[in-house]
């Protein structure tokens, strides 16, 4: 499940790199951010999991389609030239790393897929797990009992299917066996409900911005900005605070919109991977998935209020009853 972990962190890493490049930063900071992103992409395609490679490729294409046209539409010709040169340098670096790490060996595994897929023992085990669902019942066998109890349902299976299966390689089915239909519905509500909430709030923000005719084409694109960008062109208008309250939402900053979008993309990837593997049974992946789910659920109450700047130490001391010794 290393591939699932890498794919889960790819959108956030790409978003952080984009934030570094769209804000004033030292060249060394930008170089480090870009290097880490390149290493992460190479690690995804060097992974042994073909599903992880496929999900990583789709996520990368989605990220490029989402951000590259928007960035280039706001750049001058000189900046576009530098951007293309940077992309060429990144591609050259990817090629060099791929050659050094023998990445072609990982990609050659796709040629064996046709012969390995029909005889994969996970097909047989999955069928037995589906047949065992009526016996596990509404409340299941209990969390963490799969490894101990699954051998009861596969006593006569030939090798290599007859072995100790710690995980089922199908997260949703294993959840139904351990937690039952009641627990499975609860976790489905938490997981898919969080994704649906994030998507709904993103659409609500897009509807709000369209209705208010907020125009951002005349401004520098900055996905890490914490300021609301509004148009000053004649003929445009904005929501009043009362209208925003009636709509049940307030306009978000670009950073909030981008971060929520990246969180939803990360959860999409791990949700697809869970169909053929067990990423959601791994503690490290659970931590990241729970963080992104918390972001999606919490976005329901987001606002555009800025954090109050901290006062300097001197001003703090003025409000104290004592003064520092000279």
Per residue in 239-256, pLDDT tens?
455 555 544 457 788 888
Question: Is pLDDT larger for residue 155 or for residue 24?
Answer: 24
What per-residue confidence (pLDDT) applies to 235?
44
Question: Is pLDDT larger for residue 126 or for residue 223?
Answer: 126
The pLDDT of 55-71, averaged and rounded, is 88
How far is Cα 234 from Cα 41, in angstroms, rounded to an integer?
Answer: 45
Which of 149-153, 249-253, 294-298 is modeled with the greatest confidence?
294-298
User: Does residue 101 carry a pLDDT above 60?
Assistant: yes
Q: Which residues contact 132 (CB under 8 A, 6 or more apart)?
A: 153, 177
How far is Cα 21 from Cα 41, in angstroms, rounded to an integer?
Answer: 18
User: Does residue 161 carry a pLDDT above 80?
Assistant: no
User: Does residue 194 carry a pLDDT above 70?
Assistant: yes
User: Does residue 74 carry a pLDDT above 70?
Assistant: no
Confidence band for 81, pLDDT divided at 50, 70 and 90: confident
Question: Is pLDDT larger for residue 304 or for residue 43?
Answer: 43
The pLDDT of 85-95, averaged and rounded, is 75
Residue 255 in contact with residue 223, Cβ under 8 Å? yes
**H or E element, residue 114:** helix 113-116
How far is Cα 311 from Cα 325, in angstroms, rounded to an integer?
Answer: 21
Confidence band for 110, pLDDT divided at 50, 70 and 90: low
What per-residue confidence (pLDDT) applies to 269?
95
Residue 3 in contact with residue 49, Cβ under 8 Å? yes
The alpha carbon of residue 300 and the mean position of all alpha carbons in its chain are separated, in whole angstroms, by 18
What per-residue confidence (pLDDT) applies to 316?
47
The pLDDT of 56-77, averaged and rounded, is 83
Confidence band for 39, pLDDT divided at 50, 70 and 90: confident
Query: How is residue 299 annotated by DSSP?
Result: G
Q: The pTM is what?
A: 0.77
Confidence band for 288, pLDDT divided at 50, 70 and 90: very high
How far is Cα 153 from Cα 269, in angstroms, rounded to an integer?
Answer: 31
How far is Cα 123 from Cα 101, in angstroms, rounded to an integer?
Answer: 32
Minimal CA–CA distance to 37: which of 79, 82, 93? 93
Is 69 buried (19+), middle (13-18) or exposed (0-12) by CB count in 10 A? exposed
Question: What is the torsional sign of CA 63, 41, 171, 183?
Answer: negative
Q: In whole numbers, what is the pLDDT of the chain averaged over residues?
A: 77
What per-residue confidence (pLDDT) applies to 89?
77
Cis previous bond, 160, omega within 30 = yes
Token pair for 310: 């901290």
């Amino acid at each position: 499940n290393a591939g699932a972990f890498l794919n889960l962190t790819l959108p956030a890493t790409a978003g952080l790199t984009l934030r570094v490049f769209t804000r004033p930063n030292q060249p060394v900071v930008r170089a480090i951010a870009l290097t880490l992103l390149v290493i992460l992409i190479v690690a995804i395609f060097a992974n042994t999991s073909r599903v992880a490679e496929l999900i990583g490729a789709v996520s990368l294409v989605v990220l490029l389609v989402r951000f590259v046209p928007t960035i280039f539409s706001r750049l001058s010709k000189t900046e576009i030239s530098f951007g293309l040169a940077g992309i060429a340098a990144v591609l050259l670096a990817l090629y060099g790393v791929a050659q050094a790490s023998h990445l072609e060996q990982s990609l050659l595994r796709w040629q064996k897929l046709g012969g390995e897929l029909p005889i994969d023992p996970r097909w047989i085990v999955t069928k037995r797990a589906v047949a065992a669902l009526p016996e596990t019942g509404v409340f299941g066998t209990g969390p963490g009992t799969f490894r101990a109890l699954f051998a009861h349902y596969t006593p006569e299976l030939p090798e290599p299917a007859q072995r100790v299966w710690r995980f089922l390689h199908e997260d949703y089915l294993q959840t139904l066996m351990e937690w039952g239909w009641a627990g499975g519905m609860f976790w489905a509500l938490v997981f898919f409900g969080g994704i649906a909430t994030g998507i709904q709030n993103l659409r609500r923000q897009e509807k709000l911005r369209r209705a208010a005719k907020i125009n951002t084409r005349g401004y520098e694109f900055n996905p890490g900005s914490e300021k609301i960008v509004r148009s000053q062109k004649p003929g445009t208008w904005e929501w009043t605070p009362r209208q925003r309250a009636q709509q049940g939402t307030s306009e978000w900053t670009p950073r909030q919109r981008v971060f929520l979008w990246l969180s939803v993309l990360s959860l999409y990837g791990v949700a697809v991977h869970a169909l053929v593997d067990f990423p959601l049974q791994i503690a490290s992946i659970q931590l990241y998935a729970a963080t992104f789910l918390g972001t999606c659920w919490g976005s329901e109450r987001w606002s555009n209020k800025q954090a109050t700047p901290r006062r300097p130490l001197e001003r703090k001391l003025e409000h104290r009853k004592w003064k520092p010794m000279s």
